[in-house]
Structure 1
Amino acid sequence: MALGGVCVAVVACSDDTRVGFSPEDSGVDASGPITPDGSFAEIDAGGCPPTAPARPIPASAPARFTPGACTTAEVDGYVQDCLGSDGNVCKAFKDANVACAKCIESADTDATWGPIVFYDSRIFYDYNYGGCIANVTDDFATTGCGAAQTRYLACRHAACNACLPPGLPRDFEPFFECQKKKATDTLCAAELTEANTACAAYFASKPTDACQGSTLAPEQYLKQLIGAWCVGSPVDGGADGG
């Protein structure tokens, strides 16, 4: 599969801008191994270039699925109050729904990652696609498909970290474009190869589990992923998502 675009959601907060990524935007879908293609040629011609990331690439183990940590209403509330409102509204939600919020979100510095991971002091967030795969396949080994996917996507973030906006107002476009560059996958070639090898059987099975969402709108995928992780079953994102 070819890697897709990057940003799909920008959320204004009281003191920052958070950016969300869709599963396919993270270079992920159920169609097969991850393979760069010629569509990167124009993007590689300019813009903010990737830089070689320090290794080992920081990536935490996934938290286990925690059925019952959230209700479907709480998932809806989190998406609205923490990904669609300012920081004060989010704090109020988390104070009132401690167990649910703890299941849903993690920081990139945490020992384990839940379904949503915030990076660089909450500048942006991404979905924990690899962690979801580890859970649905019950393979938490560091050599497993889920762990390999996590390291690959973490490498892409790290390679483009210098392209993050330094202050307000935040312009994430250089960061987005950097992650779409063929040069970024060249720098992450070891992680890319590892992910394709470790996930060959998983992709060959054409998975339709809760980790997959290439046909879903971003908010639908968020609710599906969080629902599987923290409710016990994917949450219906609504009939209007296609």
Structure 2
Amino acid sequence: MGRKFFVGGNWKCNGTADQVDKIVKILNEGQVPSPDVVEVVVSPPYVFLPVVKSQLRSEFHVAAQNCWVKKGGAFTGEVSAEMLVNLGIPWVILGHSERRSLLGESSEFVGDKVAYALSQGLKVIACVGETLEQRESGSTMDVVSAQTKAIAERIKDWTNVVIAYEPVWAIGTGKVATPAQAQDVHAFLRDWLKTNVSPEVAESTRIIYGGSVTAANSKELAGQTDVDGFLVGGASLKPEFIDIISSATVKSA
């Protein structure tokens, strides 16, 4: 059985109530492939999760952009996995490079968060990726393998994990990894899973690409053997997100 294409939309720290209504309307009215072909998950800011969940078409799902590493308590400003489960939020994004770089989240901390979120019943989009300096120094594979290893050391069941490869130098910059660059890293990650976890996990785990994905480049990227979808930033706030979702048909053509 093939891996179902996965398209996530990370809205980041964007949106007002009116803007969210407009985005949801675009999504609800968009013509996209069936849920048998593509799984779609959008990730609005925390404050909009309930309204987006209640208004969004049923075959689309929502994700939180982060959650805390343990059960709730005296952790001002944090949101626990238990709270998300209580609200019926099925997915969470963890390890995004913006949190790693701006807030100093280590790979070990991200691994702990992934393990805890999974233990509470959430599905996880786990992000890995290198900086421009790391890319230029030739250490891309070392970086993404170390980030993935920190997760693999803490979990046993990969059923509810999607790996998002997001080269930091391509996030919000307009730069994008070439299809060949994306394929190289995705193939490396799949081989790493095969060697260090299991061939079954390597074959079934979806590895998606993020970093300035647009309607203009999504089909070519989707055509790569080991690219199983996208985690989309800015374009997920625009009508072109529908076209990016529709690029899933490249896999079934």
**Normalised by the shorter chain, which TM-score bucket?**
under 0.3
* Bigger RCO (CA 8 Å, 6+ sep): 1
Normalising by structure 1, we get a TM-score of 0.26
More strand by share: 2
Normalising by structure 2, we get a TM-score of 0.26
